[in-house]
Amino acid sequence: MGKSSLSKKLRGMLPNITIMLTGILLTIFWPNIWNHILFKQFELKPGTFIHKSWKDQPLQHIDIYFFNWTNPEDFTNHSIKPKFEEVGPYRYELRVKKVNVTYHDNSTVSYKKLQRFNFLPDQSRGKLTDLITTPNIIALCASNQANSFNIFKLKGVEMSLAFFGQEIHVTKTLSEMLFEGYEDSMVAIGTEIGKIMGYEVPFENRFGWMHKRNESTVLSSLFTVDTTTSNLDELRYWTGLFKPKFLETNCSSYIGASGGELFPPDLIKSNKKVSLYSEEMCRNLDLDFEQDTEVNGIAGKKFISGERMIDNGTKFPDNACHCNGECVPSGVLNLTSCRLGNPMFMSYPHFFLGDQFYLDQIEGMNPIKEKHEFYTILEPTTSLPLEAKARVQLNILVKPLPRIKMYRNVQTKFLPILWMEQSFELDNQMTFMVKLMLWTPFIGQMIGCVTIIISTYLIYRLSQSSVKEEKQEYIDENENNKEIKNKKLPELSPLVNCKNISNDNDNIYK
């Protein structure tokens, strides 16, 4: 009976023991199991979680500010500083989609970006019809190129400048300055100059700072990036070349840089720097860790693009190659080599973090960290961007050109054209998804702990019930034994009466 009872008890406890062991395994191993499942979703291939948001990026916004030049007529007077006033923001909704997507056998994917801009008048401080006065980039670029021509070609450009009524400045509507573009016969001259110099100008007879960038891939480069989780979105090729030809070798390398949208999971847990490649700047941007922070209840790490990007090699020697032959005070990045030789320079808005030299040159600048810094906030486990504000300013260098009459007596100045802020923040749906991804390991462990507690309690209850049953059986058995012991047996009448036998014997002897 004891063996049968024990077997019965074990059979009763077996399901609960199984549940308890499952809970223990879940508590110990679930985080690693989940991370394996999660990281498999961070491969750039169709069907994964990350692929959809990579191919069709979440909604972004771009705020564009122009610098209106208020005294261009005084530019040849070296005692008067150029004066600028900021106008804007002019807000655009930006949607980015990957097109011409091609997967390769070596775990890479190639693509182009198709951008769609939609003006948001209700969120803008100004209209598309606002008039803006800025330096005449067409005349400046043509003159800058022609300054090295022989006398015959030079005179041809000078005559064109005079014939088409070119001035140092130009006034156009905001729409013309950006996507619509404006007609200018000098663009055709620039196209011909480009042919002489060995490159193609893709603007035909119109120019705008964002012309042919809306819903067009004409100016989009071909990118090839890594698709594996460990090297997610790492740039392998750019426009089919491993290194751009227009920069020195040590400047043009983008090995280890991200395509700018994603980073490998767990990358930033140990890294104090992340790198991304900027097509507009033709270089890597290194963002350094600044502080831990939080976005919509999600812990994040803030990385900033600080002095490193705009240093002239004084603090960061590797930057010296970007000087393109002549280093200027820290504060601007020379883009001449990747902008067809035109004197364009990138900086932070209002020359934030730049040398005082730039602020002293002109009037109207007011750099403020909160409004003008360049940063991104990444979630530490997935490296997903929680928030980003990419803020950059476009400037041109104007200096005397002795061989070009229009620019012979001008001041040497870095003049601001515009600055823009490209912003991104997780929407409510993506915020929930990220939180769920981060909470799932803890949810699994909590379920495991609860399972252990419940199964332990049930096992305890079963064991207690078994003990009670055993006690009751023991008590019942003892009671039965006592009853048997204490029960009186009935008296049996003797077959022979001893008394009578004795009397009979006495009679015989008498």
Q: What is the pLDDT of residue 456?
A: 73
Does residue 144 or residue 457 have the better pLDDT? Answer: 144
- Peptide bond before 121: cis, by omega within 30 degrees of 0? no
Helix (H) or strand (E) holding 7: helix 2-40
Beta bridge partners of 289: 303
Neighbours of 4 (CB within 10 A): 8
For residue 1 the two structure tokens come to 């009976």
Q: Is the dihedral of CA 207, 211, 217, 220 positive or negative?
A: positive
Helix (H) or strand (E) holding 226: strand 223-226
At residue 147 the predicted structure's pLDDT band, cuts being 50, 70 and 90, is confident
Is there a contact between 244 and 253 (Cβ–Cβ < 8 Å)? no
Q: Which residues contact 205 (CB under 8 A, 6 or more apart)?
A: 183, 184, 185, 187, 188
Distance CA 146, CA 142 (A): 6
- Single-letter amino acid code for the residue at 246: F
Lowest mean pLDDT among 238-247, 296-305, 363-372: 238-247
Q: Which residues contact 458 (CB under 8 A, 6 or more apart)?
A: 16
Reported as a single tens digit per residue, the pLDDT across 91-130 is 999 999 999 999 998 989 999 999 999 999 999 999 999 9
Q: What is the mean pLDDT of the chain?
A: 81
Reported as a single tens digit per residue, the pLDDT across 15-25 is 767 776 776 76
Q: What is the pLDDT of residue 215?
A: 86
Reported as a single tens digit per residue, the pLDDT across 394-408 is 999 999 988 888 898
Greatest Cα pair distance in the chain: 188
Residue 52 pLDDT > 90: no
Q: What is the pLDDT of residue 11?
A: 61
Q: Rounded to whole angstroms, what are the CA distances from 390 to 61, 196, 296, 430?
A: 11, 36, 20, 20
Tell the burial category of 225 from Cβ atoms under 10 Å away from its Cβ (0-12, 13-18, 19+): buried
Distance CA 441, CA 449 (A): 12
Q: Which residues contact 84 (CB under 8 A, 6 or more apart)?
A: 67, 68, 69, 70, 362, 363, 364, 365, 415, 416
DSSP state of 404: -
What per-residue string of b and e applies to 403-440 under the rule 16 or more CB within 10 Å gives b?
bbebbeebbebbbbbbbbbbbbbbeeeebeebeebbeb
Q: What is the pLDDT of residue 254?
A: 62
Does residue 463 or residue 250 have the better pLDDT? Answer: 463
Mean pLDDT along residues 300-318: 87
At residue 176 the predicted structure's pLDDT band, cuts being 50, 70 and 90, is very high
Comparing CA positions, the residue from 328, 321, 478, 489 lying closest to residue 413 is: 328
